[in-house]
Amino acid sequence: MNHIPIGVANSISLNFDFDPIDTIQFATQSRFEIIQIYLSRALLDQPRKLSSILANETLFKKVYYHAEGLLNEEFIESEYQSKLFDFLQKVNQPNFIIHFDERMDIDRLVNTLEGKLSSVEVTIYLENYFQERGKTAAEKNLKKFLALFTLLNLSQIHLRPVFDIPRIFHQTLDFTISEGVQWCYQIFNYFGNRQLPVLLHLIDTASREQRRRDFIALGQGVIPYNKILPFILKTRPKIEGIILEFEDKLNALQSRDYLAAAF
C-alpha cells in the first residue's frame, strides 16, 4: 500500500475554541503531515489569524480548508463564498471541502457549477452528507452523490470525493452494519475504478448515535474498521489522505497508531 498521509482537523482544538493555530502547533509537534481547517464566517473576518494560517502552510504536505454549508446555488451565490474564494486565491493549493446537498436537483447543480465555477482554479472536495432519515433516502442520496462525479467526469470542474465513513453507520440511516459495509465497498470500488483519489474523514464512536461524548479512538468503537481497512488494502483504491475529526488530541494520536498498524 502506498504511503497515506494522516492529519487532524481543527476540531481537536475544542478546548481552545477550535483555534486553528493551536491545531497547527499540535500537528507540527506530533508530526502529522496534513491538516484541515474549518473556515467559518467568523474566521474569514480575522485577517491576522488568516495570515498566520498562510504563514504555516508550508509545514504540511497539504492544508485542506472546510467550508460552511452545502454545495448548492445558495452557497455559490453567497457573500460567504466570495470571501472564501478571496482567501483561497492566497493559499498554496487552493481547495475547499463542502457537504453534498441531497435536496439539490443534480442536473441543475451541474449546470450551476459549470456556469459559475468552471474558470476558477480551485479543487472542490465534496463530502457525503445526509439530511433525510431512513434507508431509502440514504440509498437515493448515495446514488445521487456518485452520479455527480460521473456527470462531471469530463468537466472543467476539479471535483474530488471526501468519504466520511462513520456517517454511513449513523443510526438515522437505518443501515445494518453489514449493509453499511457493503456501501463502503461499493463507494471504494466506484472511485477506485475511476482512479479518483479519495480523502477520508474518520472517527470512531461507542454508539451509533455518534454523540460527540461517545467519540473513541479508531478500532475501539462500533465502526467496523476491521472489515473496511482490509478491503482497502486488498483493492487498493487511491487514498489521498486521512483526516481525523475528533474533538480531542489523545484520540487522534491513538487512532494514528491504529492506522499505522493496519496499513
Mean predicted confidence (pLDDT) in 236-242: 97
Domain spans, the chain: 6-262
pLDDT for residue 124 is more than 80: yes
Tell me the three state secondary structure of residue 255: helix
What pLDDT is stored for residue 251 in this prediction?
A: 98
pLDDT for residue 1 is more than 80: no
Q: To the nearest whole percent, how much of the chain has pLDDT over 70?
A: 100
Instruction: List beta partners, residue 244.
Output: 8, 202
Going through the chain in order, the beta strands assigned E by DSSP cover 6-9, 34-38, 62-70, 95-99, 123-127, 158-164, 198-202, 204-205, 215-216, 239-244
pTM of the model: 0.97
pLDDT level of residue 116 (50, 70, 90 thresholds) = confident
CATH superfamily to which 6-262 belongs: Divalent-metal-dependent TIM barrel enzymes (3.20.20.150)
